Amino acid sequence: IQIEQYFVLTVEARRPTEEEMEKLQIGPSDPVLSFTQTTFNTRSLPVEFVKSAILGDRYKLRIMLKPSA
């Protein structure tokens, strides 16, 4: 059984929130990469929501997009 899900991912470079500064131990001018992802099931209903922020100067992203068959 193959379950076809899809997700919508938004990536944004921005300044950190107060909470992020505290948890990541960074200052207000340190950049973060913000990720927001919503995963949908086969009926296009949301089944997962993820929101995260990582230190913008310590990561490198490699993204590959392939067309559907």
pLDDT digits (tens, 9 = 90+) for 46-61: 999 999 999 988 888 8
pLDDT of 2 > 70? The answer is no
Residue 69 has pLDDT above 70, yes or no: no
Per the CB < 8 A criterion, the answer to whether 66 and 37 are in contact is no
pLDDT tens digits, residue range 7-50? 999 999 999 999 999 999 999 999 999 999 999 998 999 999 99
In terms of phi and psi (left: phi > 0; alpha: psi -120 to 50; beta: otherwise), the region of 25 is left
User: Which pLDDT band holds residue 3 (cuts at 50, 70, 90)?
Assistant: low
